[in-house]
Amino acid sequence: MNNLLEKFVALCKRRGIIFPGSDIYGGLAGTWDYGPIGSIIKKNLKDLWWHDMVQLRDDVVGLDAAIMMNPKAWEASGHVSAFSDPLVECKICHLRFRADKIDEIAAHTKSHDGLTTDWTEPQQFNLLVKAYLGVIEGKQSEIYLRGEITNGVHVNFQNVVKSTRVKIPFGIAQIGKAFRNEITPGNFTFRSREFEQMEVQFYIKPEKQEGDKWFEYWKKNRMDWYLSLGMKKENLRLRDHDDDERAHYAKAATDIEYNAPWGWSEFMGIHNRGDWDLSRHEEYSGMNMKYKDPQTDEEYTPWDIETSAGVDRSLLFLLLDSYSESEGRTVLKLSPKIAPFKAAVFPLLANKPELVEKARGIFESLKPDFMIAWDDRGNIGKRYAAQDEIGTPFCITVDFDTLDDDAVTVRDRDTGKQERISIDKIHEFITGKIS
């Protein structure tokens, strides 16, 4: 593993950010558990996404569809026949690799040193994860765990149109788990078998000009969003898909890529899905999936411009991008908006009851509105270091002067600068940093 990635994975385990799934049983490849710190960061990221996509917009509504769906929905969406990766198999040990992962194949070939490794011809391998519902196993009860969260949105298109005041153009946002039988999970959480996605399906008039306009709009909108979270511009880029790499549903596709320790990698995608999904669901369900314009009575099958981001991948790249080391210190320079704790409160000395009481009062007064950490162990230097490693932007220390002037020392994570702030201004100070 790459050196930076190795250190980062160790940090995630040491500080309760991400643990391997089923750790005490030797793990389960492609699954990860978010710890006490990681689960807060992940929730902050999802909440912020929802806030910006649904709460702040009047053209997007939310949805939370079931993970398990009637298997016909997956036939309609094309996933049963076309959601697959080409695989090759090593004829010596029968391990399988994605045929396009030339480096992994070469490394595996070398691992059999001396022996001539032969590979099978590429074969398509479906990525949908199967499950059985009900008491009898077999074809009748076979279902799929959703391979993308998208289908639950499309099948509810008419429910949403009829139950809300949306008018085209409008979007439906959703966040939730997806499952893929990835052949080679790897690069930490980058390619997992269970992961979360956050998506907007944005329905528009079925016209090329509209399609191009909204496709460009969402590319810029999403790139700006990640930049607003403090990601470094030089580590992000847009890449259009070639004709032969587009998913079966896409007319056009662009990825936002991140300059990961293992090379430029897909971060999220913007796809013009055309009328693929609604038309296919109309065909397979026999239900009308068309939209009737309330002003003109014009009836048509809308196109869908989709923005689809992995929650886990977004988190991984936000964390990697914020990782910094100087003079032996590791600091996660995370945006205060997604940092797990907005501030930490310390009494200068843990054995001075008057300092502890004062600090405790500040801690209790801030807690209802912000996630705040408390630490009274060791010396101040060690406490700063521990908070830096989980990205806490501000450390608030109550010292002996506080007892006289009702002010505290606030230390900034990124600059190390300390300023004196009156206790009654702390709430306002933190609010200003996260809005």
Please identify, using beta-carbon distances, which residue of 308 and 387 lies nearer to ligand GAP. 308
Does residue 362 contact residue 426 with C-beta atoms inside 8 Å? Answer: yes
Which residues lie near ligand GAP (CB under 6 A)? 148, 150, 180, 182, 191-192, 195, 197, 199, 266, 268-269, 306, 308-310, 312-313
Q: How far apart are the first and last CA of the chain?
A: 37
How far apart CA 238 and CA 308 sit, in angstroms, is 14
Please identify, using beta-carbon distances, which residue of 269 and 347 lies nearer to ligand GAP. 269
Least distance CB 212 / ligand GAP (angstroms): 19
Bridge partners, residue 253, by sequence: 271
Q: In what order do the strands lie in the sheet with 170-179?
A: 60-62, 170-179, 194-204, 303-310, 263-274, 252-260, 236-240
Bridge partners, residue 394, by sequence: 412
Least distance CB 34 / ligand GAP (angstroms): 13
Please identify, using beta-carbon distances, which residue of 104 and 266 lies nearer to ligand GAP. 266
How far apart CA 181 and CA 95 sit, in angstroms, is 15
Q: Interior CA angle at 318 toward 312 and 324, to 5°?
A: 135
Please identify, using beta-carbon distances, which residue of 47 and 266 lies nearer to ligand GAP. 266
Using CB positions, name the residue nearest to ligand GAP.
310
Please identify, using beta-carbon distances, which residue of 255 and 399 lies nearer to ligand GAP. 255
Does residue 309 contact residue 48 with C-beta atoms inside 8 Å? Answer: no
How far apart CA 176 and CA 97 sit, in angstroms, is 28
Please identify, using beta-carbon distances, which residue of 197 and 387 lies nearer to ligand GAP. 197
Least distance CB 255 / ligand GAP (angstroms): 7
Please identify, using beta-carbon distances, which residue of 31 and 330 lies nearer to ligand GAP. 31
Q: Is 118 helix (H, G, I), strand (E, B) or coil?
A: coil
Question: Whose CA is closest to 275, among 254, 304, 251, 250?
Answer: 304
Please identify, using beta-carbon distances, which residue of 21 and 385 lies nearer to ligand GAP. 21
Least distance CB 33 / ligand GAP (angstroms): 15
Which structure tokens are listed for 137? 């196993």
Least distance CB 177 / ligand GAP (angstroms): 11
Least distance CB 172 / ligand GAP (angstroms): 12
CB proximity list for 267: less than 8 A, separation 6 or greater: 226, 236, 255, 256, 257, 258, 309, 310, 313, 314, 317
Dihedral Cα 192, 194, 200, 206, nearest 10 deg = 80
Least distance CB 167 / ligand GAP (angstroms): 24
Please tell me what DSSP assigns to residue 67: S
Does residue 305 contact residue 214 with C-beta atoms inside 8 Å? Answer: yes
Least distance CB 377 / ligand GAP (angstroms): 36
